[in-house]
Amino acid sequence: MSRTAAAIVVSVFLATGCSGQDATSAKASSQPSATGTIAPVSSADRAYYGCLEDQGVVMESRDDGQLRVDKDRNKDEALVTAEKQCASLAPDPEPAAAEDLATAKKFSACMREKGIKDYPDPDPETGEIRYGAEAAHKGDPDFVSAAQACNTGSGPVGSAVEN
């Protein structure tokens, strides 16, 4: 999983208050290798995740060999601080697949329809959604309810907001 694909999972967990961790960016997704083989971790991803680990962020490896933030073992404030410290090492986001971008747009529109008026649209190129911890109304039952109602149950956004 790329850094940006991991970021959407982190961001949506943050937004729904389900994970106890924080992020400031999200991306629609990239899929694991269709061949089922382990994809190599890029040197840019390795440098970024290494920096996050140096800042105290707990990482884990997926079955496909890609790294991601361990959603259960990090605190909001620590992750925000680490992301700021490591921002210069963050790899450039991958372009979003059309289907993933459409899913992210639908999720954003649904969030606004459900009362979260300031929920942004994803970046049209990368699919990233910039929505930080403070803005995510952490602990706000209306926000959590909206995110759960907007859950498609599929793809990176849908699977990230499942309980």
In sequence order, what DSSP letters do the residues of 83-96 get, joined into one string?
Answer: HHHHGGGPPPPPPP
For tokens 């994970």, name the residue.
19
What are the residue ranges of helices labelled H in 17-154?
43-54, 76-86, 98-113, 141-150
- What local confidence, expressed as pLDDT, does residue 54 receive? 94
Structural domain contains residue 50 = yes
pLDDT mean across residues, the chain = 72
Residue 11 and residue 147 in contact, taking contact as beta carbons nearer than 8 Å: no
pLDDT of residue 153: 66
Under-50 pLDDT residues of the chain: 1-35, 158-163
Place of tokens 């959604």: 129
Give the total number of structural domains in the chain: 1
Q: Which of 71, 74, 87, 97 lies closest to 159 in space, CA to CA?
A: 71
Query: How much is the pTM?
Result: 0.52
Q: Does residue 34 lie within any of the structural domains?
A: no
| Opening angle at CA 34, ends 160 and 37, nearest 5 | 100
**Of 112, 91, 93, whose CA–CA distance to 27 is shortest?**
93
For position 25, what pLDDT does the model report?
A: 38
Range of the domain at 58: 3-29+39-160
Q: What is the pLDDT of residue 98?
A: 92
Phi then psi dihedrals of residue 67, to 5 deg:
-90, 155
Within a domain: 130: yes
Segment 40-79, tens digit of pLDDT: 667 888 899 899 999 999 988 888 777 788 877 888 788 8
Which pLDDT score, from 0 to 100, does residue 133 have? 60
